[in-house]
Amino acid sequence: RSRELGGTGLGLAIVKHVLSRMDGELSISSRPGLGSAFVCRFPTSSVSQNATENKQVS
């Protein structure tokens, strides 16, 4: 649908905002006539650190 109607470009703006808030990275590779690939990377240390801090000792 986006290719037919042109789209609004809002999707990448949202992704950029989320990645910025979570210290993530976005990689894009594009090949004319073939399409584009988008890869989002999120740091695992932040998730692991938060999970450890939130553990309760019984």
Helix, strand, coil percentages, rounded to 5, for the chain: 45, 25, 30
Q: Name residue 23's amino acid.
A: D
What is the model's pLDDT at position 52? Answer: 63
- The dihedral through the CA atoms of 18, 20, 21, 22 has a sign that is positive
Q: What is the pLDDT of residues 11-56, one digit of tens each?
A: 889 999 999 999 999 999 999 999 999 999 998 865 555 566 666 6
What is the model's pLDDT at position 44? Answer: 82
What is the model's pLDDT at position 56? Answer: 61
| Contact assessment for residue 40 and residue 26, using Cβ atoms and an 8 Å cutoff | yes
